[in-house]
Amino acid sequence: MAEALPQPGDVLYVGGAASVQFQGERSLTFRVIRVDPRITYDGWLWIDGYVLGPAGDATERRVIFVRREGLQKRP
For residue range 4-60, list pLDDT tens digits in order: 899 999 999 999 999 999 999 999 999 999 999 998 999 999 999 999 999 999 999
What's the whole-model pTM score?
Answer: 0.89
Q: What is the C-alpha to C-alpha distance for residues 54 and 36, in angstroms, rounded to an integer?
A: 26
> Quick one: pLDDT at residue 61?
98
Q: Of 50 and 1, which is predicted with more confidence? A: 50
* Contact by Cβ (8 Å): 70, 23: no
> Quick one: pLDDT at residue 75?
83
Q: ∠ CA(22), CA(12), CA(60), 5° rounding?
A: 65
Going by pLDDT thresholds of 50, 70 and 90, the confidence category of residue 70 is: very high
